[in-house]
Structure 1
Amino acid sequence: MERLCGEIIQIILNYLDDPTHFRLVSRRYYAITQDPYVRSSYFLARYGRTQAFYYALNRGKLMNEEVIDIMISSGAHLSRYLAQCAIHHYFRAQVHFIKSRWVRSVPLPVFTHFMMVASRMYGDIPTGKGDDDGAIFSALLKTSRLPTESRGKWETLKEVVEKYKFIPFCMKDPMMSQFPLVLAVEPRLLPYARANGFVMDGKYRNFVFRKMFEKPAVQFDGRVDEVVKNVRELTSLDPNMFVTRTVAAEVCMEAHINEPGYTALKILDKEGMLRFSLALVVEELLKTFINTRSIGMPQTQPVLRKLYEDFPSGDTTVRTVMISSIFFADTSHLPVILNATTVHLLDYVNNCNEKVKELGLAPVTRKDLFEMLVNKFTPEKFTGILEYGESVLCLGAQGMKELKKDVVIACLEIGCKGKMLKQLVEADSSLRDVIETHVVQNLRLNLDDLPLPEDEEACQHYEARLCRDFVACRRYRYPLGAADDRGRPGVADPNQPVLLEGGNGPALGANADQIMADGNVAHHMGPTPPAEDDVMESDEESDEEDGPDAEDGAEELGQIGQDTLTAMIRKDELAPAARRRRFYDMFATYTDHMGKLTYPAEYMQVGRWVQNVFGSQHPVTAIFMLHAVVNENAHILQNSLYSDQLIPSGRIPVTLKHFKMLARLGRPPNLALVDDIEAGIEFYFDEDDYLVDEGKNAVGSSNLSHTRNRTVKVETEGTPRPSGSPEASSSQEKGPRGRKRPRRSTAMVKSYVIPGSDDESIAEGRNDIENEFAKKRRCETNLQRWIKHLSVLLKEEQKKYKEKKKREQAAAEPGAKIRVLKSEFFKSLSTNLSRLRKADREKRQQLYGMDVPSEDYSEGEEDEYQYRTTRSKRYKVQQN
């Protein structure tokens, strides 16, 4: 190190956050760090021309007159605005975004020299309160929504930027986020700002153009021409600045209230100033309403009507959105009871018919009615839609019956349509049989229907057709239960990026409206306001993360959402300051006043309705339960999932088939299943074991029974049962060898005791011994049987894991370390089995005492699996 030249040592110093300890290594290093040129080069190399003076003044002990002169001659940027803020702070005036000592650590002679240098450059420097250059641009932003003559003078703004070299001098300066807005109001300032070193980063793009299209506080003539002129100038001055589809969609969302901005956007589209077709943007924007609550909100009706009149589309989804917006608009006066005829109902039908003709959507077809009825946001009072089909389309009684049948079958796969199914079935009881037959014949799920375990990607993205979780976000499906273009749930595309509604940010996976309503959680449409915390007192902390994000060079036109222009501007302005840009996500939540959630506000789960109608032990309920478990949505059917008192008798039985299907897909079982097992719920291999004969015969036993005839072992009356467990079924089937003989403890034993003799006391003592022996006899409980079969399943998973590990190690290069991840089911089952074994041991100790064996499984003839004890090691004796 002592042989290194001075240039190498200078480079090493520039890479150190705090060179204090390095300069104390030797006298030579200490002497080098005392050189004014070395100190000035350090600040310029680490912080750049723009922020060099800001951080140099923060290290007052390193500053002297020579360092200041060298930094000026080396190109460090010193604006009059920086000198004004430094003078205010040094003499104890308030600089709201600086809380540390900053320039107060600079010696007075050195700071006097700094003020003299600034005065030689800019002459008389205004130092009064509110006279700094930053206040001039702040005042301009406050009047940006007023007419042009009410704003600041162009000559003054140009002088401040061109002559006095105005530029935000650090990332903590609030003008760093406000100056791009100034350029949005006056794009002519951009060339002068660029000459001072200001770089218009791509992240400012939407931030700037939103202010250009903002609705003025007072309407004035020439606003449209002003917006068009500003967009032209800014796009011509900087090729990275262009109107994105995101901003265009936000302007279109205010087409009925922000006429100047919307008109200017259409003019730019006709002149070819946009990099996309505005008609396609409007079409995609209209299609987003099919999956959000806003389709039925009154405030969205004028927007949809305005956009469709200006940009008519032949897309089927757009047609469904427009027709649905007409029929969903106002249903408060309609009757709840189906097949009812009132004056309001006839007025509703006539009004909808007139609006459909005005928009050129006539005639409405049966398919249109079907699409409206199966939409997730169909109002509860949908009697008017049915009346329209009967009176206007003249479908007739048979046609309406077929329509209701198709709607009922389609609604089974839409998890939030429980209320509609309830109303339809209550009005027509024959639909219950339609549901029962369709579910049993077409929606039964078996292991053969699942993807092969070797295809991990297919297993990860597999989704059953029933009981989809449309609220919570899963890793293998669209977020928030996103549906297809027609509002019905669809299977996720593994190549599709997971985005929230509107496509503006990553999914959070929330379960409350205020969290999930944020469709733009990571919507960085503008720079985050700088932090209002202390300025760093040493160089130990670096602000490299606060610097502008590097452009990847790819042209991004932006995603389309339903946010309005005004809402996004206010969101950018009201976002609290954060020192790191990644904390911006925490403050981007707001309530769902825009109706952007992808499920109704009031809904009933279809699975919950099925359980209430068909009961917990019915073939239809069993099939829904199986689909819910596969989709990790078992809490839909289990009423007491989050209750304090767990009552297994009122819950849907859990079967071993549920765990086998989860093992095939590699997904963890829901905790509700484990809670049921721990509470002592009956063991079943699959749903055929507990379904009653009446339920099977009602819809055809051929579809609900396997070819094998397997018995279900239940406990006898003498078997101790955990507290809260259901009573054993009385209809026990006979095994393949006939009925088993009773246990010795319960067999009838003939007594030879003579009544009234002395042998009675001996007999009573013997009976007590026999009863005590019967109490401690080995018996298998439901919990133990569950543990036994789940242990076998765990061993199979361990075997699969070892085989997979061997295959990957064989395919890898020799000597390479391979890490094979376990499936979620494997890890979860290992943990839950330990929990169940612990619960079983505690229950047995409670019943039989502390000296009870740790495991006490019976070995009956009807057990499907048999355990064998481990052989003891045998030592071979060599013969001499």
Structure 2
Amino acid sequence: MDRLCDEVVQLIINELDDPTHLSLASKRFYTFTQDPYVRAWYFISRYGKIQALYWALGRGRLMNGKVINTLLSSGAHLSRYFVQCAMHHYYRTAQVPFIKTPWVRSMDLAVFTHFQAVSVQHFGNIPLGKGDDDGSLVDAVIKESRFPVEQRQIKWETVKEVLEKYKFIPFCHKDAMMANYPLVLAIEPRLLPYARANGFTMDHKYRNFVFRKMFEKPAISFEGRADEIVRNVKELSRLDHRMFLSRTVAAEICMEAKTNDQAYNALKRLDKEGFLRFELANVVETLIKTFANTRSVMSPSTFNVLKELFHDFPSNDPLVRHVLLLQVFVCETAASPMLPTIITMNSEPPAAWRAFVDKCQQRVESIGLPPIERRDLLDVLRSKFAPERFQGILMYGRLILGMSTKAMDELIREAAYTCLEVGCKGKMLRKIIELFPPVEDSLRRRVMEVYRLSVEDLPPWEDEDACVLYEAPLCQDFLIPRATMIERIQELTSTRAVASASESNEVQEQEESVAMQVDTQGATRSERAIESASDDDDDDDDDDLGHIGQDSLSTMIRKDESAPTRRSRRFYEFAMYTDGQGKLQYPADHQLVGKWIRTHYGVRSGVTAVFMLHSVINGNPVIIQPYLGYGETWNQENRVPITLKHFKLLARLGRAPPHLLFDEIEYGAEFYFSEEDYLAPDELNGTVIKHPKPKKRTSRIKIKMVPEYSVKSEASPTPTVAEDFAETSLSAVSSSSSRRPRRSAASTINYVVPDSDDEAIADDGDEVMHEVKVIAKKRKVESNLQKWIKHLTVLLKDEQRKYKERKKFVHASAAPGTKIRVPKNDFYKTLAAALTRLRKADKEKRQQLYGTDIPDEDYSSGDEDEYQERTSRPSKRRKVEAA
């Protein structure tokens, strides 16, 4: 270290947060750090020229007159606003609340007096009264921007003098003016050149925030407001090419077309003059389309806005037409709650329905839509937000379109078919069947003919992309579609990969994305990362015109202003969300189609079996849980049977089976290969059949304690008691309500008849129980759990074979010498872990039946009808000893 030159030592000192320890390391370093030039450039190189004085005055022990002079001569920025804040803080006034540290009070009075004298030489007399500082003046510009021009007291020349002569600029990131300064430039874009001369750079991520304030609705409307907005937008965009109006802000302005008409007119003028970087008509069309998938389309307040936008920018897009028709029928139905609930298509419609149809027709004509056709009514009925009281739509088709009764029946039947694939249309299906009972049989036939799936209907397992994106048409997740979820997972995975690859450059990226870029020459890392942005400061962001949403301009301004400058360390966010703006993608009062199917058709129905199959493929737990009676007392009669076909379909797609399926297997679910094992042929064909009510099952064994107990001899060819005991023992154990006692408890049961002195009877009872156990051990019945284990094991072996083939193919196609890790799919890993769990449960149940001294035998493998006991093979050492 002693051999290093002064330039290298200076670079080392500049990288230290506190060079005090290095200065005490040697006499040379101590003398070197006493130099005013070294101290001045330490602050300039670490904190930049804009913030150098702020951080230097906070280290009062290092400050003296020479250091202050060197800082100013080396280019450290000094503004009158900074001097005013420093004097207020030193003399303990309440004008600088954002500085909580001693700051300039750590300096000696003589040094601070020298700093004041130098400041007076630069700026002359410095006003120190309350509200006379430059920061208060700039804040007043923001407050007066909402008033007409003639009522504003602060003129443009005054603000210009503050920036040009007195070098105004926020001096640290803690200053509240750091966020308000861009608003001043938005109000007066002509000040931007003077702000740049002081070292200020407008960050492009504040672009939307600035333009929102430009178009904000004033407190008092005046005639020249639209002209002022157009002039400011043009001027700011001319001075800085990175500041342009985005589609996001344009859509927010369009949402206030009725309430903030001057901003909307200014936006249309900018579009007409070709000043925007996009076509406003395309923005309006996209904005209207967004209402097709959100419940805000049911709000009556959006009708006037969409009507105004469609008048100014008409579109032939069918989705735009669909949204406007939803507004017509849905809003009018919600506004007419006293309409009759039951109608007949053959009789004369009541006067209330005629009035409803006339209002809908008037709305259609006021919007300017082309005449409504049959397919338009069908599209409205298909929508997730179609009203439950859809009779008005049918009446419109009858009175306006002149549809016959047969045509109406076909229309409602097609609508019911479509509702099967929309997960939240359970209430509408229920209402359709109440009004049109024949539709029930049509739905049953439709489901069994169209939606039954087999393994051959799925994509081949070699096509991994198709298997990942495949989604069964029924029981889909209407909150987040599978394709959208896969895209999000892929984006998250790619983001994490890029983050891990560029971990070494993380600090540099944060430095380039400071929230308010203020002369970035050598700013400290900790301060640069205070307002670090998520997007990089590059030229590619200029092409991003922003997304289009349904938020209004006023709503987004309130969000920007109410957002905290920094997140508190002890801030806890509670999960209390209310959809006040109607952005959720399903109606507020909805019923799941899958749950309604189970309730209406029953658990042992072909329709329910098909829905169960689709829900398992899509991995929809909201449907699977009620199908398996989740939360209820376990009873086979209340559950939709699970079959091996469910696992085969999941194996084809490589998806993890839900853990609820394995829970059912462990509880004692019956084994079926497919739904054909427990459904009648008529039910599979979609024919209506009446199922008899199941009779209550009674126990086949009733051991009564009577004085005389007859037992068949061992030579009897049909030991009824032993066989009955062996057949019913496994089913008794599987029932959670009546469990068989363990072997230790069973051995202590005494079968002595009460009030009897005959000890022979007790001996005979013990011999019977011993005989039962012996015969039960010799004849082992295959339980449902063992059947599941056996067939799932075969399925797992098939997955092992496919994995080996895929692994072999990947290694063969790779370059020689490269090591490629081939991951196992989710089905493989989940099934392997679940089989271990099921085998353990099977072993525990067998120990309960036959005692803990039974050998560790595996009954889950072998032939289908025969189970062979596996004994341990004697080791070679034992063979040698025996010889």
TM range (shorter): 0.7 to 0.9
Contact 2:37 2:70 in 1 (8 A): yes
Equivalent in the alignment of 2:277: 275
Structure 1: gaps spanning 5 or more residues: 480-491, 499-504, 507-525, 531-537, 702-714, 728-755
Equivalent in the alignment of 2:423: 415
Contact 2:862 2:868 in 1 (8 A): no
Q: 2:679, 2:379 → 1: CA distance?
A: 36
1:265 positional shift: 0.5
1:7 positional shift: 2.2
1:257 positional shift: 0.7
Equivalent in the alignment of 1:247: 249
Equivalent in the alignment of 1:303: 305
Q: 1:600 aligns with which of 556, 563, 587?
A: 587
1:858 positional shift: 6.2
Q: 1:700, 1:865 → 2: CA distance?
A: 41
Q: 2:172, 2:181 → 1: CA distance?
A: 12
Q: Secondary structure at the match of 2:147?
A: coil
Equivalent in the alignment of 2:189: 187
Q: 2:412 aligns with which of 387, 404, 407?
A: 404
Q: 1:864, 1:154 → 2: CA distance?
A: 98
Equivalent in the alignment of 2:616: 629
Which range moved further: 799-808 or 571-580? 799-808
TM-score by length of 1: 0.82
Contact 1:140 1:182 in 2 (8 A): yes
1:83 positional shift: 2.1
Contact 1:722 1:843 in 2 (8 A): yes
Equivalent in the alignment of 2:63: 63
1:862 positional shift: 3.3
Q: 1:683 aligns with which of 671, 674, 684?
A: 671
Which range moved further: 187-196 or 45-54? 45-54
Cα distance change of structure 1 residues 824 and 112 upon mapping to structure 2, 3 Å threshold: farther
Quick one: percent identity of the two aligned structures?
52
Cα distance change of structure 1 residues 345 and 529 upon mapping to structure 2, 3 Å threshold: farther
For residues 158-204 of structure 1, what are the alpha-carbon distances to aligned partners after superposition, in whole Å with 9 as ceiling and x for unaligned? 12222221111222222111111111212121111111111111111
Q: 1:867, 1:268 → 2: CA distance?
A: 86
Equivalent in the alignment of 2:640: 652
Contact 2:384 2:424 in 1 (8 A): yes
Q: 1:543 aligns with which of 528, 553, 559?
A: 528
Kindly report which structure 2 residues correspond to 1:21-40, keeping only aligned pairs within 5 A, or say none.
Answer: 21-23=21-23, 26-40=26-40
Cα distance change of structure 1 residues 761 and 213 upon mapping to structure 2, 3 Å threshold: closer
Contact 1:203 1:527 in 2 (8 A): no
- Is the aligned partner of 1:478 residue 2:484? yes
Equivalent in the alignment of 1:135: 136
Cα distance change of structure 1 residues 758 and 866 upon mapping to structure 2, 3 Å threshold: closer
Q: 1:466, 1:657 → 2: CA distance?
A: 17
Equivalent in the alignment of 1:591: 578
Contact 1:529 1:578 in 2 (8 A): no
For 1:656, the aligned partner's letter is L
1:300 positional shift: 0.3
Contact 1:50 1:197 in 2 (8 A): yes
Kindly report which structure 2 residues correspond to 1:785-864, keeping only aligned pairs within 5 A, or say none.
Answer: 785-812=787-814, 816-844=818-846, 850-851=852-853, 857=859, 862=864
Which range moved further: 137-146 or 315-324? 137-146
- Is the aligned partner of 1:226 residue 2:228? yes
Q: Secondary structure at the match of 1:638?
A: helix
1:653 positional shift: 1.5
For 1:410, the aligned partner's letter is T
Equivalent in the alignment of 1:335: 340
For residues 193-227 of structure 1, what are the alpha-carbon distances to aligned partners after superposition, in whole Å with 9 as ceiling and x for unaligned? 11111111111111011111111111112111111
Q: Secondary structure at the match of 1:415?
A: coil
Q: 2:618, 2:350 → 1: CA distance?
A: 43
Cα distance change of structure 1 residues 697 and 467 upon mapping to structure 2, 3 Å threshold: closer
- Is the aligned partner of 1:363 residue 2:364? no
Q: 2:855, 2:869 → 1: CA distance?
A: 16
Q: Secondary structure at the match of 1:546?
A: coil
Contact 1:677 1:783 in 2 (8 A): yes
1:250 positional shift: 0.4
Q: 1:851, 1:105 → 2: CA distance?
A: 83
Kindly report which structure 2 residues correspond to 1:356-505, keeping only aligned pairs within 5 A, or say none.
Answer: 356-471=364-479, 473=480, 476-478=482-484
Cα distance change of structure 1 residues 644 and 192 upon mapping to structure 2, 3 Å threshold: farther
Cα distance change of structure 1 residues 444 and 3 upon mapping to structure 2, 3 Å threshold: farther
Q: 2:404, 2:632 → 1: CA distance?
A: 51
Contact 2:328 2:364 in 1 (8 A): yes
Q: Secondary structure at the match of 1:282?
A: helix
For 2:114, the aligned partner's letter is H
For 2:338, the aligned partner's letter is H
Equivalent in the alignment of 1:166: 168
Q: 1:864, 1:437 → 2: CA distance?
A: 41
1:72 positional shift: 1.4
For 2:529, the aligned partner's letter is E
For 1:407, the aligned partner's letter is A
Cα distance change of structure 1 residues 137 and 811 upon mapping to structure 2, 3 Å threshold: same
Cα distance change of structure 1 residues 33 and 230 upon mapping to structure 2, 3 Å threshold: same
Contact 1:528 1:577 in 2 (8 A): no
For 1:366, the aligned partner's letter is R
For residues 463-492 of structure 1, what are the alpha-carbon distances to aligned partners after superposition, in whole Å with 9 as ceiling and x for unaligned? 111111112x36x4226xxxxxxxxxxxx8
Q: 1:117, 1:866 → 2: CA distance?
A: 101
Q: 1:230, 1:806 → 2: CA distance?
A: 66
Cα distance change of structure 1 residues 646 and 528 upon mapping to structure 2, 3 Å threshold: farther
Greater Rg, structure 1 or structure 2? 2
Equivalent in the alignment of 2:103: 102
Q: 2:862, 2:532 → 1: CA distance?
A: 72
Contact 2:858 2:870 in 1 (8 A): no
Contact 2:419 2:425 in 1 (8 A): yes
Cα distance change of structure 1 residues 642 and 250 upon mapping to structure 2, 3 Å threshold: farther
Contact 1:635 1:641 in 2 (8 A): no
Equivalent in the alignment of 1:748: none
Equivalent in the alignment of 2:151: 150
Cα distance change of structure 1 residues 862 and 820 upon mapping to structure 2, 3 Å threshold: closer
Q: 2:367, 2:490 → 1: CA distance?
A: 34
1:852 positional shift: 5.5
Contact 2:201 2:516 in 1 (8 A): no
Equivalent in the alignment of 2:767: 766
Kindly report which structure 2 residues correspond to 1:574-589, keeping only aligned pairs within 5 A, or say none.
Answer: 574-578=562-566
Cα distance change of structure 1 residues 297 and 579 upon mapping to structure 2, 3 Å threshold: closer
Higher helix share: 2
Q: Secondary structure at the match of 2:730?
A: coil
Q: 2:868, 2:86 → 1: CA distance?
A: 84
For 1:695, the aligned partner's letter is E
Q: 1:325, 1:218 → 2: CA distance?
A: 32
Aligned residues: 790
Equivalent in the alignment of 1:671: 659
Equivalent in the alignment of 2:749: none
Q: 1:557 aligns with which of 526, 545, 548?
A: 545
Measured on the aligned residues, the alpha-carbon RMSD in Å equals: 3.7
Q: 2:728 aligns with which of 717, 728, 731?
A: 717
